[in-house]
Structure 1
Amino acid sequence: MSEGPSRWLREARAAREAGRLPEASGLYRRILEEEPAHAEANAELADALHALGDLASAIGHYRAAVAADPSGAGPWWGLGCALAALDDHAGAVEAFRKLAALAPGHGQTLHNLGRSLYELGRVDEALGCFERAAALLPADAACLPLTNQAMIVPGAPGAGTAAILDCRRRWAARCLPAATPPAARRPATVPVATGRRVRIGYVSASFDKRNWMKPVHGMLAHHDRGRFEVHLFSDGPAPPPGTGHRPHPDDRWHATGELSNADLAGRIASDGIDVLVDLNGFGRPSRLGVFAARPAPVQVTWFNSYATSGTDAFDALIGDRHVLPPGHPEEAACSERVLRVPGSYLAFDVAYEVPDVAPPPCLASGFLTFGCLAPQYKVTGEVLEAWSRILARSPRSRLLLKSVVLGKPAARDLVAGEFARRGIAADRLILEGPDEHFAFLGRYAAVDVALDTFPYNGGTTTMEALWQGVPVLCFEGDRWASRISASLVREAGLGEFVARDLEGHVDQAVGMALDPGTPSRLDTLRRSLRDRLRASSACDVAGLARGLERIYLDLLAVR
């Protein structure tokens, strides 16, 4: 290397150390003009671009660095992190695997590998990576992979209900902050006895998310404000117009995103909340510390809890008779008392603009197009196997998949390769990336029948498919998470689409694809499905509100 590049490299490093990243980047580029394969200049320029937020350019230089010197650990780390940040998890897995081979004792690499494997639906493998990462990382850092384990374990095909409880208890023992009750005293009176309204507090980071919060917004619109005072504790933005949230003038909104757990617990206690309801579940495990502090006399978890919390923070876990039938063995694997509302615990209301229902595409195509618009992390190897069997036995059918992860070519190639290994040609598949929500829902016009994922069913995905006129084929799985769709589909009056087991599910899909009468039946169903849903308990959000209110009052009565 001539004196020019050597000098520029020293100057670039000095500028980078001083935080002058644009200046450093210019100097690295001068080096690469003379020596395009310069490993150090490519790697360090990539790091600078990464820090400046130019991930796409950083990725190009990381690739050049590892091509020049495959033994360099730093560029593989940067490449994996940049790809994961752009949701290119197939590429990230490749980079982190290379790094894990170079540095097998690096726990953070295994953690990040696990996160990207999870996003690709390789949940059991991700759990294994998190386990190894927890063993390698220092004690104060091990909670990162342990938390991710606790978050994803209900969707792991290899984890039964006992393993889910054990995993979350382990997380709670090591990572849930010790309970410190707030200084403010709770009300000493029982509200029902004194005649005052019961104060209900709902805790969520997602009140602004119209697609996820259909059951919550629908239920809130039907709370009895004559008997209940509603408090919304929000870690996220207020719901803008068009999200389905209907603000009530008597409700109290609390912006809590900047509050620590201790401060939020103190706020809840000082407001005299009688019943505190967690809407986050393990979607936001960092807030479970609020509930561990016990700021309210009664605490329950509902909506985003599809397995036990494994903690002592809740008096009840709220579901229904479908997701956890009375007397089911899974109830013994819950750290909370399980209580049930009538109908579906996810009864929903679509109170924002969505596309009109379209005719089933099989009327024009002459063949059935199956579809699944669920996140890719729900599409496990077992799901791919079942779908491949369906396609193999119904040779004219097609399958449409659409998700954020599939927006990247590497992920589409990976999924197409999984089907190819099972004998399904690429021309049988339609693989699509994300869209704005309205356009995303519009793609149901290309789907005749939706196929559910397992063991982690659709919730929002099932609601949206049904509302767009598309029946959802599902079956009774081995855990709460794998019976969510059965709850919604049965309460929609469509129990004929719920199979008893996986084999029945595959047989039903094949039967529909081969039956020449299916197109006309689907056409009739789609024309009437929204009206049927509105009249069904699947959309009885007023009944859901009454059911929750009865549970709240019953729990207060025994305090």
Structure 2
Amino acid sequence: MSNKLFYEGRWKEAIAQYQKFLEIQSGDADIYWNLSYCYRQLNLLDEYFSTLQQGIKLYPTNERLHFSLIIDLRQNGRIQEAILSADNAAKCFPDDYTFQLLKYLAVPSIYENQAEINFFRQRYTQGLQNLIQHTSLKTTEDQHSALAGIGRLTNFFLSYQAQNDIDLQRQYGNLVHEIMAVNYPQWIVPLSMPKLQPNDKIRIGYVSHYLHSYSGTLWLTGWLRQSNHESFEIYCYYTGNETDPITQQFQEYSDVFHHIPHNLSAACEQIIADKLHILVFPEIGMNPQTMQMAGLRLAPVQCVAWGHPVTTGLPTIDYFLSSELMEPENGQEHYSEKLIRLPNIGVSYPKPYIPPIIKNRSDFQLSDDAVIYLCCQAPFKYLPQYDFIFAEIADRVPQAKFVFLRGTLLQPRLKRAFAAIGLNSEDYCVFISIAERLDYLMINLLSDVYLDTFTWSGGNTTLEAIACNLPIVTCPGEFMRGRHSDSFLKMLGVTDTIAENEIEYIEIAVKLGLDPVWRRSIAEQMSQNHDRLFDDKACVAGLEAFYIQVVETTSLYCHDRNYH
């Protein structure tokens, strides 16, 4: 009965039924998993975690219970408990590489203060050393366990510490490559560039787990749509399994489209069989299977683009396809790959469809006289050293309402920042959950100002805000990942809201809040200049010129090497 309710998604009734059942007998590990899942669906986190812990006490050798507990404790800002749970799991499963990775490399998804960032940076650095020393790839069991481990996790959260990750990424990238090499020795040998006969096209492959409506790959549709099919043959490999209208676009814009979900070997075999000249990963670092594939040599030249804007550190990735407007002068110092600065913002972003305004503020419990500052980034993009900025703006704009869209993880930190200058954060900070894309766009259209995050700026979110003509306050950071919004506004030709430092950022945000005339004039300039930014052809021409040049030089180099 409990399971029937569970599979029908009737969470509350399933919980009541499972509890009755557990009063009579202890049940198996799956029951604890199902019960915990019901609590999670209802966002009852304390009950969720305690159910997993109960299950682990009774079934200490159930990997799924351990894994969920560790991952979700971290995700919910409970890093110390996550680390203790990872240590416990590593003791229960000494030969399981997944729990070694979690034990040594866990970093928080959000930080309480700046000192915590430094502490976890050092912990990760030391943990990576220990992991590398303790990684044994001698037996087939070791090799398979390590492969499974890196197939379940990436080190995604490291890059949100706002530091140069090149050394740590290189160490991690070499480790991934080594694990892939012992498991797939046939796919790590250098490949020579296929010869081009007079009427041949250059074969370009794009492989991703996310060829659907996803922020890290949405821009790629522009590259494909504008591509020159006279000179290039486009192959797409979709390794995920969520199909939607954007997947259809990828299919439509490709000459060859392979959908090979969740099957690493099959995807690699297909790529090798297609004898590509160049293989491009739109992002590496978000999906574990993509990271595994990128640790192999599946084409003579392999590139990564900035869907996840951080160096991969992988010895098998040759080029990082970035943007002229985003990279600082010393950009190459941040990459293990050779940095390629494509024209403008480097991507041809399709202009989003923005619907007419069909809702009003009261639909979202927001008042008409508030000055709404939209804060729509994921919590892990907000670093604690910048919390004071919200309080400073509120101090000078009494009507300010900061609208956060991704949960309440930042609430305790904001409470402290506002209290530090004698304000109550609850008077100013609003946390809204939005499930529908339409509602998300409505919030953009109903807001007054978009506040960009420091050190890791908005990408997709900023481009959509620009399409909604929402004035954007941004301050470019040290690394490309903190300079997206800056580059978009420069290309748009609307630069009055780009700040040089934190003080200026506050000034601009306050002026936009208090001066509706200036605010409207910024919005007006934005709306007139959309064509400068969206559907850019120059970057695609630059990309294809790079492709042609790299095929020619690699062919010459191979020929030369063979001759000698």
Asked if the contact 2:282/2:306 (under 8 Å) is kept, the reply is yes
Q: Which residue of 2 aligns with 1:388?
A: 391
Matched residue type, 2:470: V
How far the C-alpha of 1:73 sits from its partner, in A, is 6.7
Match of 1:234 in 2: 238
Equivalent position to 1:49, from 22, 28, 32:
32
Which residue pairs with 1:313 in the alignment? 316
Q: Distance in 1 between matches of 2:291 and 2:517?
A: 49
Aligned match of 1:338: 339
Q: Which position in structure 2 is the counterpart of 1:458?
A: 458
What's the TM-score, normalizing by structure 2?
0.75
Distance 1:243 1:264 in 2: 17
Which whole-Å CA distance do the structure 1 matches of 2:301 and 2:101 have between them? 39
Q: Is the 8 A contact 2:279 2:299 kept in 1?
A: yes
**Structure 1 residue 529 and structure 2 residue 526: aligned?**
yes
Amino acid in structure 2 at the alignment position of 1:548:
L
Amino acid at match of 2:547: Y
Mapping of 1:321-336 within 5 angstroms?
A: 321-325=324-328, 328-336=329-337
Output the CA distance in 2 between the equivalents of 1:548 and 1:439: 35
**Is the Cα–Cα contact under 8 Å of residues 384 and 413 in structure 2 kept in the other structure?**
no
Residue 154 of structure 1 pairs with residue 159 of structure 2: yes
Alignment check: 8 A CA contact 2:295 2:315 kept = yes
Give the letter for the 1:49 counterpart. Answer: Y
Separation in structure 1 between the aligned mates of residue 105 and residue 419 of structure 2, nearest angstrom? 23
- Corresponding residue of 1:265: 268
Distance 1:147 1:258 in 2: 12
TM (normalized to structure 1)?
A: 0.76
Aligned to 1:4: none
Q: 1:186 and 1:47, CA in 2 relative to 1: closer, same or farther beyond 3 A?
A: closer
Tell which deviates more after alignment, 490-499 or 127-136. 127-136
Task: Give the structure 2 partner of residue 539 of structure 1.
Answer: 534
Q: Which runs of 5+ in 2 are unaligned?
A: 1-14, 93-97, 136-141, 362-366, 555-564
Mapped contact 2:176–2:295 kept (Cα < 8 A): no
CA deviation after TM superposition for structure 1 residue 118, in Å: 0.4
User: Is the contact made by 2:66 and 2:85 (CA closer than 8 Å) also made in structure 1?
Assistant: no
Distance 1:94 1:436 in 2: 34
Aligned to 1:286: 289
Cα distance 1:523–1:145, how it changes in 2: closer, same or farther (>3 A)? same
**Residues 416 and 478 from structure 1, CA distance in 2 versus in 1: closer, same or farther, beyond 3 angstroms?**
closer
1:28 aligns to what? 22
* Cα distance in 2 between the residues matched to 1:156 and 1:528: 34
SS at match of 1:391: helix
Distance 1:307 1:183, change over 3 A: closer
Quick one: structure 1 residues 333 and 257, their matched pair in 2 at CA, closer, same or farther if it must change by over 3 Å?
A: same
Count of matched residue pairs: 504
| Structure 2 match to 1:17 | none
| Deviation for aligned residue 1:153 | 2.6
List gaps (5 residues or longer) in structure 1. 1-20, 32-40
Distance 1:114 1:388, change over 3 A: farther
2: CA distance, partners of 1:381 / 1:256? 41
Contact kept, 8 Å, 1:154 with 1:481, in 2: the verdict is no
Write the deviation string for residues 348-370 of structure 1: whole angstroms up to 9, x where unpaired. Answer: 1135x443369998xx9555321
Q: Which residue of 2 aligns with 1:6?
A: none
Cα distance change on mapping 1:102 and 1:167 into 2, 3 Å? closer
Q: What letter matches 2:208 in structure 1?
A: S
Q: Is the 8 A contact 1:155 1:481 kept in 2?
A: no
1:500-525 Cα offsets, whole Å, 9 max, x none, are 233332332233334xxx31233344
Question: SS of 1:214's equivalent?
Answer: coil
Q: For 1:329 and 1:54, locate their aligned partners in 2 and report how far apart those are by CA, in whole Å.
A: 47
Farther off after superposition, 112-121 or 300-309: 112-121
Shift, 1:239, TM fit:
4.5
Deviations 1:301-353 (A, max 9, x none): 1131422221222221111223224xx234134211111111112341135x4
How far the C-alpha of 1:145 sits from its partner, in A, is 9.2
Match of 1:504 in 2: 504
**Residue number in structure 1 paired with 2:553:** 558
The residue aligned with 2:205 is: 201
Q: Which moved more, 1:196-205 or 1:289-298?
A: 289-298
Corresponding residue for residue 412 of structure 2: 414
Moved more, 479-488 or 102-111: 102-111
The letter of the residue matching 1:455 is: T
State the distance in 2 between where 1:453 and 1:93 align: 23
- Look up the equivalent residue of 2:343 and give its one-letter code: P
**Sequence identity, in percent?**
16
The Cα of 1:526 is off from its aligned counterpart by 3.3
Of residues 140-149 and 538-547 in structure 1, the stretch that sits farther from structure 2 once superposed is: 140-149
Mapped partners of 2:44, 2:358: distance in 1: 43
Asked if the contact 1:360–1:445 (Cα under 8 Å) also holds between the matched residues in 2, the reply is: no
Distance change (3 Å), C-alpha of 1:105 and 1:394: farther
Mean CA deviation greater in 81-90 or 427-436: 81-90
Task: Say whether the 8 Å CA contact 1:133–1:145 is kept in structure 2.
Answer: no
Query: Is 1:401 equivalent to 2:404 in the alignment?
Result: yes
Give 1:477 deviation, angstroms: 0.7
2:174 maps to 1:173: yes
Query: Match for 1:251 among 249, 255, 259?
Result: 255
Deviations 1:507-558 (A, max 9, x none): 32233334xxx3123334435634421x21x213332322211111111121
Mapped to 2, the partners of 1:551 and 1:61 lie a distance apart of: 50
Give the secondary-structure state (helix, strand or coil) at the position aligned to 1:301. Answer: strand
1:541 aligned partner, one-letter code: D
Shift of 1:401: 0.9
TM-aligned CA distance change 1:340 to 1:156, over 3 Å: same
Alignment partner of 1:89 is 2:76: yes
Distance 1:429 1:65 in 2: 27
* 1:300 alignment partner AA: C
Question: 1:8 matched to which residue of 2?
Answer: none
